[in-house]
Amino acid sequence: MSDGTILDELSTVYVYDGSYDGLFTAIFDAVYSRREPADIVSQERLQLMLATRFVEVETDPSKAARVKKAAREKLGSQAMSRVYRAYLSSGSNREIFIYHYLMMGFRLGKKAGNFLTDPYVFNVFSLSQNVSRETDKMMGFMRFSIMEGGVQYCRFSPENNILPLTLSHFISRFPGIPMVIHDTGRRLLGVYDGKDRYIVSAEGFVPPKKSSDEECFEGLWKLFYDTIGIKERKNLKLMKQLMPARYFRHVWEF
């Protein structure tokens, strides 16, 4: 058996840098090389396997843009929003689900989204909905503090990578106000300087001190919360059963 035949029989796994453009570059490479992926994984999730050809993907924004444009034209903007939210999920197989969903979309167009009995379509929908639900719930429990220098600062610990969605939401709500949203679990910062936005590593980041007014306002809010509550009906055990710990981990009231 020739070396070429052996290579042809190997499963192909595309390894990308974890970015959204990197994922779409991997999809581009898979389509144009005509090597259907057994999986698409980020570098941090890579596990070596036997009988597998690993293809390192170099992120190329131009390739990614071509796939995004074609997918938007075939599937529509709503489907692409669904794909983006699925990408932000913590689902371990999200990339291969997205790949097969897009391939079906290229064949069938917008009606591909109606095939919920297809496992890939169903999983993209499920991951997207999970991200949307967590985003909506988490934003109700995010607490901003005014730090020295006037920067608004907030910490949270979401299950999914919803930092880009929450950052966009609060920028639209408070345009021009500098803010930092800190995903403590992933050690990422969503930074808005009043004009531009960035998502950067939180490595070495030390939050500034709270302003004196902020300390006062937080004290007043806790006093208000305790005052209107009925002490005899307080049931922390039930609260924790009804609301996962990640939602109130950084909430001042508790």
Asked whether the beta carbons of 201 and 188 are under 8 A apart, the reply is yes
Looking at residue 245, what is its pLDDT? 72
Longest pairwise C-alpha distance within the chain: 80
Closest CA to 89 of 137, 51, 123, 44: 123
**In angstroms, rounded to a whole number, what is the distance separating the alpha carbons of residues 18 and 4?**
30
Nearest alpha carbon to residue 64 among 26, 31, 101, 21? 21
Return the sign of the alpha-carbon dihedral for residues 124, 126, 131, 135: positive
- Can you tell me the distance from the alpha carbon of 178 to that of 132, in angstroms, rounded to the nearest whole number? 25
Taking only the tens place, the pLDDT of each residue in 169-226 is: 999 999 999 999 999 999 999 999 999 999 999 999 998 898 888 888 888 888 888 8
What pLDDT sits at residue 6?
Answer: 46
Tokens of 97: 């689900």
Question: pTM to 2 decimals?
Answer: 0.87
Which pLDDT does position 9 carry in this prediction?
Answer: 58
For position 7, what pLDDT does the model report? 47
Residues of the chain with pLDDT under 70: 1-9, 49-50, 254
